[in-house]
Structure 1
Amino acid sequence: MNSISTAKLLGAIEAGGTKFICVIANEAGEILMRRTIPTEQPQKTLSACDDFFVEAKLRCGSISALGIGSFGPIELNPNANDYGYIKQTPKPGWSGTNLVGFFSQKLGVPVAFDTDVNAAALGEHTHGVTQGCDNFVYVTVGTGIGAGVISGGLLVQGLGHLEFGHILIPRHAHDVNAVSNCPFHENCLEGLASGASLNLRAPSGVSELSLDHPIWIAEIYYLALMCANLTQIYAPEKIVLGGGVMLKQGLLPKIHAEFLRLVNGYAHERILEKVESYIVPSALDGVAGVVGALALARSVS
């Protein structure tokens, strides 16, 4: 065992629908070990995560706490009988999986638990583009769509966590015959604008399609409409857009222009005058969830 084992160590898991990212880090956030594990059946995936932490203990030392940012829906009420569980989810085999219980038993340390998008919002708040900004919305536009809202420096929670990906929206004229990717809603944001929904429209991929293609014209409309709704509902100081879909070159300026068209002058003058400083890209794209999960672990260590 090397010298870093004497320092307090933290564990984190970004539990996504396609992969689990497991890390060990020191208190400063320096990642010492990292492993990506495919999201397959729960027993196989969780056992592989456990193997990682067993190996990490031998190489680095014991962790003092674990933070998990998970895909959902999940139960976040600590007084609920199913706290720490993944609830009814479209991900085959994962409904009813007790994530907190599994890792609490295996690792014997405190486990902090939240949604993957809330973890990413925390990551941006602590180390990303919204440092010093206590009122913002972080949106991930990837396989699915989710939003984490921080107000007054705290995550907004209610009876359950936010499910902004399932707000109902009008279809774009180019998209009237498209099949929704959501099994629950024909006209929700995730069903029409997520990466998975884009792949339904173009199975060979959309990354090479021009932004003038009807698929991207509709996508720009949906994401700008999302930002307009967030603006009017939450009045944030910033909207941060992350996730794989946002990696499309030139997409963000198109969203800016469509957003301004949709709000039609009805927004704070700071937004209208400098929209590029209001709707901004993630500074931690690809690692925001892990950074936030470490922040969760730090809160209970």
Structure 2
Amino acid sequence: MLGAIEAGGTKFVLAVSDNNLENIERISIPTTLPQETFAKVFDFFDKYELEAIGIGSFGPIDINKKSATYGYITSTPKPGWKNTDFLGKMKERYNIPISWTTDVNAAAYGELKKGSATDEKSCLYLTVGTGVGGGAVINEKPLEGYSHPEMGHILVKPHPKDSFSGTCPYHKNCLEGLASGPAIEKRYNKKAETLTDTDEVWQIEAYYLAQALMTYTLTLGPEKIILGGGVMHQKQLFPLIREQYRELMNGYVETPDLEEYIVPPKLSDNAGLTGCLLLAKEEL
């Protein structure tokens, strides 16, 4: 049996499957303080004879195996979680192979193997919601190096009609600071879902996301770009992003047809968990 943890700042989704990825049990628990959260994780997994576990965690996390803090959640603003030895706690409890990566890398891997990018060897997954995070799979391997991608914090050029300074405490006008759900709400003092008929909101949002996708295309050249997260439930964004992307790219490099290139996740909100199970299976 395989275990999976999709660890988010709001909730942990835990799952157990057989080796064919058929679901056996799945639960969601709130992300409270580490001691309480891990106690619930252990209660869930202790019922099973697991062979491997895959973890996709919110971050930033340390994925450098040469580092003294490999396996830690590092500089997160999530109360109580800064410098938490996540992987160490799991290995102390379960003496089995454990895969460790970011939640968005896991989602990208899930979409490559079972979702919108199954015919490709590379893809990029961007989630736009409470924050903005990106993961990539290149040559069928999650992209990792000294650290992991932090695609939500690239700087973007302000929209000519946007005077909003941004919400990111580190960079202000980075992608997350200007295009996340909280940025939309703070800019207009309204919940994003109440602004569905306000065209300017989504034109500005599309402008920032299209800039980011252009940057990712020019640096990574993914074969598919997948956009998920709560903000991307606003389906009117997809044609606007494709249009802005086409204008910004201005024919500089060739891409696949944009209707097939910039797409929603086929696995919906299950991409991360699916990726975790697949990575756990690979650990075997």
Which interval holds the TM-score relative to the shorter structure?
over 0.9
Partner-residue secondary structure (3-state), 1:161: coil
Distance (Å, rounded) in 2 between the aligned partners of 1:46 and 1:204: 35
Q: Which residue of 2, 11, 28 corresponds with 1:10?
A: 2
Question: What residue is the counterpart of 2:116 in the other structure?
Answer: 129
Alpha-carbon distance between aligned partners in 2 of 1:211 and 1:278, rounded to the nearest angstrom: 26
Instruction: Name the residue aligned to 1:283.
Output: 266
* More deviation, 233-242/30-39: 233-242
Shift of the alpha carbon at 1:146?
A: 1.6
Q: Which amino acid is the alignment partner of residue 281 of structure 1? A: P
Cα distance in 1 for partners of 2:144, 2:19 equals 27
1:50-90 deviation per Cα after TM superposition (whole angstroms, max 9, x unaligned)? 12223xx2xxx311111100011101112211111001112
Tell me the SS of whatever aligns to 1:14. Answer: strand
SS of the equivalent of 2:136 reads: strand
Contact 1:23/1:31, CA 8 A, preserved across alignment: yes
Match of 2:250 in 1: 264
Structure 2 unmatched ranges of 5 or more: none
Aligned to 1:5: none
Letter in 1 for 2:169: P
> Structure 1 CA distance, aligned partners of 2:15 and 2:161?
42
Q: 1:48-63 counterparts in 2 under 5 A?
A: 48-54=40-46, 57=47, 61-63=48-50
In the TM superposition, residue 174 of structure 1 has moved relative to its aligned partner by 3.1
RMSD (Å) for aligned C-alpha atoms: 1.5
The aligned counterpart of 1:32 is 24
Alignment correspondent of 1:67 = 54
Q: Distance in 1 between matches of 2:201 and 2:269?
A: 24
> Paired residue for 2:158, among 156, 166, 171?
171
**Corresponding residue of 1:159:** 146
Deviation at 1:161, TM superposition (A): 0.5
2:194 corresponding residue in structure 1: 208
Q: Secondary structure at the match of 2:51?
A: strand
Distance in 2 separating the partners of 1:27 and 1:203: 47
Larger Rg: 1
Give deviations 1:106-156, integer Å, cap 9, x for gaps.
Answer: 233221100001000110111111112012211111211122222222222
Q: Structure 1's 186 and 105: CA in aligned 2 closer, same or farther, altered over 3 A?
A: same
Secondary structure of the equivalent of 1:32? strand
Q: Contact 1:211 / 1:217 at 8 angstroms: preserved in 2?
A: no
Report the equivalent of 1:19: 11
| TM-score, length of structure 2 as denominator length | 0.95
Q: How many residues align?
A: 284
Q: Choose the corresponding residue for 1:94, options 59, 81, 90.
A: 81
1:223 is aligned, of 209, 213, 236, to 209
Tell me the distance in 1 between the aligned counterparts of 2:82 and 2:263.
34
Matches of 1:104 and 1:157 in 2, distance apart? Answer: 21
Q: Which residue of 2 aligns with 1:4?
A: none
Aligned pairs for 1:194-205 (under 5 A) are 194-205=180-191
Q: Is the 8 A contact 1:179 1:200 kept in 2?
A: no
Corresponding residue SS for 1:175:
coil
Matched residue SS, 1:50: helix
Structure 1 CA distance for aligned equivalents of residues 145 and 197 of structure 2:
37
Contact 2:97 2:283 in 1 (8 A): yes
Which residue, out of 167, 171, 178, partners 1:192? 178
- Between the aligned residues of both structures, percent identity stands at 43
